[in-house]
Amino acid sequence: MIRSLQLTDVPALLLFLGKAPRNEARARDRLGAKGIERLAAASILKGCLISADKQHSFVCVSGGFVQGLACLRRGQGPSAWFVERLMLEPEREESCIDLLERVGYAGDKIKAERVFLRVDSSSPAADMAKQAGFNHYLTELLYRLDEVHQSAPPDPLPALRPKTGADEHALFRLFSASAPLQVRSAEGMTLQEWTHSRDRDAHREMVQENTGEISAWLRIRYSGASGQFEIVAAPGSGDLASLADYALTALKTRRPVYCLVPEYQQQLRRILEDRGFYQAGSYSCFSKQLAVRVHEPQLVPLRA
């Protein structure tokens, strides 16, 4: 049986987590971590049971035992949610399809329109997501650098400044110009859709302007001793190499350094490989339009 997680499930959930189930979902800010999470049960329970406005969880229960857990986290807006955890008991992987199908009917409960899922491309969960009605719209590659990058300090980049709230429209235009149609269709064809479907903010964000338009967007994250960055740039941007060097300088005290690259960003992939990065992972990104109840207009008495 698939249903929402309840307080009465805590004992069974603790027993389930004690088996160290593999998390098939790969959150953007934990891509360098292992598939089996070594997180405290209290941390998972807090996110599952307390933060109800921004998180929601489903469990697969059989005979009083939890066999699977799916945790959803809200994006920057209420219409988009991310599968943050898809944890399955060993040899009970068939519950994955049931959980993901249940997620597809959760739109009315969590007030969502779309849900996103990222899994390892080689994981059986990728095929199960397709069977559950999820649409594969993008492949992302994770590049990793272990050795210290030896180079001269990069030249100052022209018009590179911190991102502000006033940049949202310009960043949406940059996204629309750089992403293929299937990515735009999944992540947002309008500014509001795209803003809602954005993942957690980075620790540091910079933008580069050319002739009054934003031509590149650099996002930097820190996670323990490691660091991660991403670059969105206008097609044919000549500053990609300098932006990558700038990010490496900003992360010079951290190792390893990761860069998540959409498969279509061929130029950035070559630049990273020239600097000693190697491909450390491949992820399949899925989206699904949720079934949301449409409220029809109706006549009501006029009150004086």
Residue that terminates a domain, selected from 108, 136, 164: 136
- Give the model's pLDDT for residue 243: 93
Residue 282 lies in a domain: no
Domain count, the chain: 2
- Give the model's pLDDT for residue 169: 95
- Give the model's pLDDT for residue 36: 44
Find the range with the poorest average confidence among 85-99, 161-175, 192-206, 226-240: 85-99
Judgement on whether residues 184 and 230 belong to the same structural domain of the protein: yes
Residue 39 lies in a domain: yes
Q: Quick count: other Cβ atoms within 10 Å of Cβ 289?
A: 15
- Give the model's pLDDT for residue 293: 47
- Residue-wise pLDDT for 238-291, tens only, equals 689 999 999 999 999 999 999 999 999 999 999 999 999 999 999 999 999 885
Residue 122 lies in a domain: yes
Judgement on whether residues 181 and 131 belong to the same structural domain of the protein: no
Burial 180-205 (b: 16+ CB within 10 A, else e): eeebbebbbeeeebbbbbbbeebebb
For residue 295, pLDDT over 80 is answered with no
Judgement on whether residues 48 and 81 belong to the same structural domain of the protein: yes
- Residue-wise pLDDT for 166-224, tens only, equals 999 999 999 999 999 999 999 999 999 999 998 776 789 999 988 788 999 999 998 88
Chain-wide mean pLDDT for the chain? 85
- Give the model's pLDDT for residue 275: 93
Q: Can you give the CATH number for the domain in which 178 is found?
A: 3.40.630.30
Q: What is the 3-state secondary structure (H, E, C) of the chain?
A: CEEECCHHHHHHHHHHHCCCCEECECCHHHCCCCCECCCCHHHHHHHHHCCCCCEEEEEEEECCEEEEEEEEEECCCCCEEEEEEEEECCCCCCHHHHHHHHHCCCHHHHCCCEEEEEEECCCHHHHHHHHCCCEEEEEEEEEEECCCCCCCCCCCCCCEEECCHHHHHHHHHHHHHHCCHHHHHHHCCCHHHHHHCCCCCCCEEEEEEECCEEEEEEEEEEECCEEEEEEEECCCCCCHHHHHHHHHHHCCCCCCEEEEEECCCHHHHHHHHHCCCEEEEEEEEEEEECCCCCCCCCCCCCCC
- Give the model's pLDDT for residue 228: 94
For residue 25, pLDDT over 90 is answered with yes
Q: Which domain covers residue 36, as residue numbers? A: 2-136
The stretch 36-64 carries a mean pLDDT of 70
Residue that terminates a domain, selected from 109, 136, 163: 136
Which residue pairs from 251-254 have beta carbons closer than 8 angstroms and sit at least 24 positions apart in sequence?
A: 251/220, 251/227, 252/148, 252/149, 254/222, 254/225, 254/226, 254/227
- Residue-wise pLDDT for 113-144, tens only, equals 899 999 999 999 999 999 999 999 999 999 99
Judgement on whether residues 114 and 92 belong to the same structural domain of the protein: yes
Judgement on whether residues 18 and 85 belong to the same structural domain of the protein: yes
Residue that terminates a domain, selected from 114, 136, 158: 136
Q: Quick count: other Cβ atoms within 10 Å of Cβ 75?
A: 21
Share of the chain above pLDDT 70, in %: 83
Find the range with the poorest average confidence among 56-60, 104-108, 218-222: 104-108
Judgement on whether residues 16 and 120 belong to the same structural domain of the protein: yes
- Give the model's pLDDT for residue 20: 80
Q: Quick count: other Cβ atoms within 10 Å of Cβ 167?
A: 17
> What sign does the CA torsion over 64, 88, 125, 284 have?
positive
For residue 18, pLDDT over 60 is answered with yes
Residues near 250 by beta carbon (within 8 Å), at least 6 away in sequence: 204, 220, 227, 229
Residue 121 lies in a domain: yes
- Give the model's pLDDT for residue 298: 56
- Give the model's pLDDT for residue 35: 42
